Amino acid sequence: MKAVVMRGYGADAFRVEDIAVPTVRRGEVRVRVMACGANASDWEFATGRPFYGRLARMFMRVRVAGSDVAGVVDAVGEGVTGLSVGDRVVADTFESFGGFAGFCVAKADRWVRLPDDMDFTTAAALPQSGAIAIEAFEGKLAPGQRVLINGGGGGAGPLAIQMAKRAGAEVWAVDNAAKQEVMRAAGADHLIDYRNTDFATLSTTFDSILDLVATRPMRTVAGCLTPTGQYRLVGGATKFIIAGALPPKRTGLLMVPQGPDMTRRMVALVARGDITSHIGETAPLADAPAALARMGAGEIAGKLVITP
């Protein structure tokens, strides 16, 4: 089968190659991949930057990246119940990855059935990005509170904007100028081009800041918070992640529980029409290396999805 394999580190690490179709062991399910959403972690694995991406790739032995997988069940392993060949499913396969390929194998309990009317591209945009959006804002905001989302125009940003708006928040969204429209479409009230305006210098203070691409120390951003505000960081330079948290837990990492529960919840929100998936680009597997490089350079507004 064709797969996007990582060779070495750098912007050109992704290569399309022929590899063996993965076998199915007990308790696992193999899926014919119809779509796979790309995440910042995929780019971090390939480039080895920030450094934790290199460490994670090494210790998790990731060869084929891609973990937001949607497709059709092709085979079920011994002991698997509840799923059958032909079922339409989606999963966050973060433990095993392998989504940028023709077939992907993961534990059976990772896969979530898709509604009949949800297409694979929409579904593949949801698992990791949806988990971030839910964990950041569901049940954690009050109407009228001010929220800032840094990196609001990428894969997770539009979902996070919509979750904050559902809670009644007033949302500032930060990204480059080319991503302004996707942030507006997601419902952002205020748009900031980080190339022209440093959000840390704004006179406005925020009840919640979600930082998807940390570029400054936590202590610097803490000055943008209200007295009871919280800053949560998802990704960015290692030096900003490991330093500077402030008590009492006003700044720190957003600890996102990954797995089928979060995926199922976001699929349900989209199926009901409460949330919309914003796809910035779809690219066939053969063109995935170039598309992933564009994503890594911040040139894709919304989610990048790789298809067969």
What pLDDT, in 10s, does the model give residues 259-280? 899 999 999 999 999 999 999 9
What is residue 242's DSSP assignment? S
pLDDT at 148 over 50: yes
- Radius of gyration of the chain measured on its C-alpha atoms: 19
Q: Give the pLDDT mean for 86-96.
A: 95
pLDDT at 165 over 50: yes
Name which of 45-49, 75-79, 225-229, 236-240 the model is least confident about. Answer: 236-240
> In terms of Cα–Cα distance, which of 271, 261, 262, 263 is closest to 116?
271
pLDDT band at 251 (very low <50, low <70, confident <90, very high): confident
Q: Which residues contact 215 (CB under 8 A, 6 or more apart)?
A: 150, 236, 237, 240
Contact by Cβ (8 Å): 212, 154: yes
pLDDT at 188 over 50: yes
Amino acid at the residue 72? V
Name which of 172-186, 200-214, 245-259, 293-307 the model is least confident about. Answer: 245-259
Find residue 230's DSSP bridge partners.
Answer: 208
Name which of 98-102, 124-128, 182-186, 244-248 the model is least confident about. Answer: 244-248
Find residue 118's DSSP bridge partners.
Answer: none
pLDDT score at 248: 46
pLDDT score at 23: 97
Q: ω into residue 257 within 30 of 0, thus cis? A: no
pLDDT score at 240: 56
Angle between the 51-60 and 40-47 helix axes, to the nearest 10 degrees?
90
Find residue 91's DSSP bridge partners.
Answer: 69
What is residue 278's DSSP assignment? -
Helix (H) or strand (E) holding 40: helix 40-47
Total Cβ atoms within 10 A of residue 27:
13
pLDDT mean across residues, the chain:
92
pLDDT score at 244: 52
